[in-house]
Amino acid sequence: MSTPAAEPTDVRPWLIALAGLTILRLVLAATLPLSPDEAYYWLWSEHLQPGYFDHPPMVAFWIAAGTALFGKTALGVRLLGPLAAAAGSVLLWDAGETLFPKCNAGLTVAVLFNATLIIGAGSIIMTPDTPLMFFWAAAFAALGRWLAARNPVWWLAIGAAAGAALLSKYTAVLLIAGIGLWLFSHREGRRALASPWPWAGMALAFVIFAPDIAWNASHHWVSYLKQGSRVTQFDAARSAQFLAELAGSQIGLATPLIFGLAVYGLWRLRKAGTPAARLVLWLALLPGAVFVEHVISGRVEPNWPAIIFIPASLAAAALPPEILRRWRSPAIGLGLACNILVYVQALDPVLPIPASADPAALQLAGWPGLVSAAAATKPGFLTSQDYTSLAEFAWAEPSGIPIIASGIRWETLSLPDAPALPPGLSVSHRRNIYCAKPLGSVTRNRANEFVMNYFLCGTPLAEHAVLVSP
């Protein structure tokens, strides 16, 4: 006897809750100061082009759209983040319903996903992961629709989502690779590959991504070489440390109970044998294997495996009802509590964490004071060895003081050459051992609490310098 489908759920209260959560995230996005990376991506949006030194251009396009509506404000930079999280939640809801129709997985995956810190905090901060996660969710929704109806036209939607994901971050190549391996791994998939539609979808993905390829081809493949060179020598002790850091960061970003449900869900799916189960496994385990392999030779930043959270949340949502009845509410409650604590800590610290060790303070606190202290020395220009610090200087726009930069990162940004200027000031958190004119140091503070020390160095205008901000 077949298992009856779950009773339909009244989704209106949940949609109202999602709307309220989105409004809260928009308020926080407007209130919190920009992080250095966000200021750097904002500079990209001021100089739109098909590619950049670090990443593809999608984050710059999103920021440009937001600032076109709300100007040079924190909300303008971050506007599409909370909105994309809301739209992505609806797409994941649809994916859960089509991939696991007997589990009522749609609502569960949407709520679990929003209770993770990777979305709760990540949707407020605008980085390349923000559009990447949205388009990854769109690809899952389109894949679910294809599995449910077998309408081959859905492959064009899958390809469009994959191409847009590639234009967001290069790790989206794992989406295309995972889908390909999934199709090759089962009979129905191999039959689909005998038709032109999956190949048409792949072609569409690369047409969408082609501008970035062309830009890199004209810039000595700088982005691909940078992202492909994140390898250091193997060291067993360091690798163990990096692996422990990676595991701890993912438990924290997922929140512990959601992480446990996701791992157990993936473990159970290995025996399901359905195309949907195989799809979720391929798109979780392939990126997971790549990042674990990377740990052998270098550190993996906590946000890099964010793409795994979507299939992992789907796996958790596909768990048997008796497990979810017991663990879903505590997992969601703990996740939302962690999100609220992070929000409060960023706005008005309540945890007794020194500012110099508080991730929120390290990213967000004290930048206006640092810029004011540097500008008070009346330099001919301001610069920094740290590209993110330099971006914060450009965002602050100290009156009458140009922001100058040099190096390949800035040369590829299509900035004008710097004019002739009197000696300036370099401000960096790393001591410059080649500094010919050290001028002491200043601190970045949260209120009166120390966050980080910065070294000042008098410096002449470098050769090939560019003008970042007049």
53 in Cβ contact with 223 (< 8 Å): yes
pLDDT at 327 over 80: yes
Query: Residue 239 has what pLDDT?
Result: 81
Q: Which two tokens stand for residue 454?
A: 């910065």
Residue whose C-alpha is closest to residue 236's, from 297, 188, 153: 297
Query: Residue 433 has what pLDDT?
Result: 80
How does pLDDT run across 60-95, given as a tens digit for each residue? Answer: 999 999 999 999 999 999 999 999 999 999 999 999
Query: Residue 470 has what pLDDT?
Result: 83
CA distance 401 to 418: 12
Where is average pLDDT lowest: 227-236, 272-281, 289-298, 431-440?
227-236
Element (H, E) at 178: helix 173-184
Query: Residue 38 has what pLDDT?
Result: 98
Q: What Rg value do the Cα atoms of the chain yield, rounded?
A: 24
Section 306-332 average pLDDT: 96
CA distance 396 to 35: 12
Identify the residue with better confidence: 239 or 373. Answer: 373
pLDDT at 6 over 70: no
Give me the chain's average pLDDT, please.
93
CA distance 67 to 464: 30
Q: Which two tokens stand for residue 397?
A: 């726009």
313 in Cβ contact with 307 (< 8 Å): no
How does pLDDT run across 400-424, given as a tens digit for each residue? Answer: 899 999 999 999 998 999 999 999 9
How does pLDDT run across 104-115, given as a tens digit for each residue? Answer: 899 999 999 999
178 HSE (CA, 13 A, CB side):
29
> 268 exposed, middle or buried (CB, 10 Å; 0-12, 13-18, 19+)?
middle
CA distance 125 to 79: 10
330 in Cβ contact with 257 (< 8 Å): yes
Please state the length of the chain: 470
> 400 exposed, middle or buried (CB, 10 Å; 0-12, 13-18, 19+)?
exposed
Element (H, E) at 227: helix 222-227
Section 251-266 average pLDDT: 96
